[in-house]
C-alpha cells in the first residue's frame, strides 16, 4: 500500500504538470492573439519621429485597425522591410499595415483587399543635375538606366511591377546601391550628398522632406508607361494565424469603405487627388472592385 508521502508526491507532480500545461496553453493563446505591427520611418506614410509624428497615413490605417480588432493585443515595432520579410519567412506572427502586392511577396504573406490608393512613384534627383541633363517629363526608364547614372533603392521595398521589372534588368551592381534602412529619408540624404544620382519615391514623400528639410532642391519626374495610381494592402505572415488575421482585417476594411470620410482619410496627405476625375474613376473601377486574394 502506498505511503501517504508517496501519494503526496504523486499529487504534487500531477498538480505541477497541470500548471505547466496551463502555462504553455496560455503562452500559445497569447501568441495567437497578438499582432506585431512592423513599420519603418517613411514620412508621410509612417511618421515615427519628427514633425507630425504619428500622423502618417500608414499610422492612421494601423490605428484604425487596432481600434476595430479588439480581440487582438497590438504591439508596434520598427523594422527594415528586408527584415520584415525575413521574419515572415521564419513564420513569425507579424503584419505590415500597407504594402504593394507582388508574386514574390505572396510566397511569404497573405494580403488584404486594397486599403489605400497612392499616386504613382516618381524618379527624383537634385534639381541642378536634372537641369544639366535637360530632362523632361515623362522620363523613360531605359534611357536613364543607360545614362551611366547611379541610383539607390531600399532592400525589400517594391516600387510596383513596372519599375521592379526594369530594375531587375540592371546587373551593374556598381551603379545600383541597395540599402537596408528603418528611416527612408536616408535616400534623400544620399542624393543631397551626391552619393547617388537618382532614386524612386512617391511625390508626397518628397513634398514632406522638402517642407521640413530645406537644405537641397530636388526635382521629381513622372515615368513613361506607369499608371497614375497604385494600390496597397495589409500583409500578414503566410500561416494559419496570418490567414485568420487577414480575414478579420478584410471585414473591417469592407465596413470602412461605406463611411463618408473614407476617401478624405485615405487622401489625408494628398487631398488634391480627391478632386481629380482620374482618381475617382480609379477608385470606382479598380479600388472598390479589387479583391486581392492570396488566402489559398
Write the CATH number for 68.
3.40.190.10
Q: Is residue 276 a part of any domain in this protein?
A: yes
The chain-wide mean pLDDT, for the chain, equals: 87
Render pLDDT for 17-74 as a digit per residue (tens, 0 to 9). Answer: 444 444 433 334 445 789 999 999 999 999 999 999 999 999 999 999 999 999 999 9
Q: Is residue 17 a part of any domain in this protein?
A: no
Mean pLDDT of 276-292: 90
CB of 201 within 8 A of CB of 122?
yes
Domains of the chain: total: 2
Q: Is residue 147 a part of any domain in this protein?
A: yes
**Domain extent for 272:** 35-119+231-287
Sheet of 34-39, strands arranged across? 73-78, 34-39, 94-99, 229-237, 109-119
- Please check whether residues 131 and 272 belong to one and the same domain: no
| Local confidence band at 173 (pLDDT 50, 70, 90 cut-offs) | low
Residue 184 pLDDT > 70: yes
Instruction: Residue 39: count other Cβ atoms within 10 Å of its Cβ.
Output: 24
Instruction: Compute the distance between CA of residue 54 and CA of residue 56 in angstroms, rounded to an integer.
Output: 6
Q: What is the pTM of this model?
A: 0.84
Q: Is residue 23 a part of any domain in this protein?
A: no
Instruction: Compute the distance between CA of residue 279 and CA of residue 261 in angstroms, rounded to an integer.
Output: 16
Amino acid at each position: 500500500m502506498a505511503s501517504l508521502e508517496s501519494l503526496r508526491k504523486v499529487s504534487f507532480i500531477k498538480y505541477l504538470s497541470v500548471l505547466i500545461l496551463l502555462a504553455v496553453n496560455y503562452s500559445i493563446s497569447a501568441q495567437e492573439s497578438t499582432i506585431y505591427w512592423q513599420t519603418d520611418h517613411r514620412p508621410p506614410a509612417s511618421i515615427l519621429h519628427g514633425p507630425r509624428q504619428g500622423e502618417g497615413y500608414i499610422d492612421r490605417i494601423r490605428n484604425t485597425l487596432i481600434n476595430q480588432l479588439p480581440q487582438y493585443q497590438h504591439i508596434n515595432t520598427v523594422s527594415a522591410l528586408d527584415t520584415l520579410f525575413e521574419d515572415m519567412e521564419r513564420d513569425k506572427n507579424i503584419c505590415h499595415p500597407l504594402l504593394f502586392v507582388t508574386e514574390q511577396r505572396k510566397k511569404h504573406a497573405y494580403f488584404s483587399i486594397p486599403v489605400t490608393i497612392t499616386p504613382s512613384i516618381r524618379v527624383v534627383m537634385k534639381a541642378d543635375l536634372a537641369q544639366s541633363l535637360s530632362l523632361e517629363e515623362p522620363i523613360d526608364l531605359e534611357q536613364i538606366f543607360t545614362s551611366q547614372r547611379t541610383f539607390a533603392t531600399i532592400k525589400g521595398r517594391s516600387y510596383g511591377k513596372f519599375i521592379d521589372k526594369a530594375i531587375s534588368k540592371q546587373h551593374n551592381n556598381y551603379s545600383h546601391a541597395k540599402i537596408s534602412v528603418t528611416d527612408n529619408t536616408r535616400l534623400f540624404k544620399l542624393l543631397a550628398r551626391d552619393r547617388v544620382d537618382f532614386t524612386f519615391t512617391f511625390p508626397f514623400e518628397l513634398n514632406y522632406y522638402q517642407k521640413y528639410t530645406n537644405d537641397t532642391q530636388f526635382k521629381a519626374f513622372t515615368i513613361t508607361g506607369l499608371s497614375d495610381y497604385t494600390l496597397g494592402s495589409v500583409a500578414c505572415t503566410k500561416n494559419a494565424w496570418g490567414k485568420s488575421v487577414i480575414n478579420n482585417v478584410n471585414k473591417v476594411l469592407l465596413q470602412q469603405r461605406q463611411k463618408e470620410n473614407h476617401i478624405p482619410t485615405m487622401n489625408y496627405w494628398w487631398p488634391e487627388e480627391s478632386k481629380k476625375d482620374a482618381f475617382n474613376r480609379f477608385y470606382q473601377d479598380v479600388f472598390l472592385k479589387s479583391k486581392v486574394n492570396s488566402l489559398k
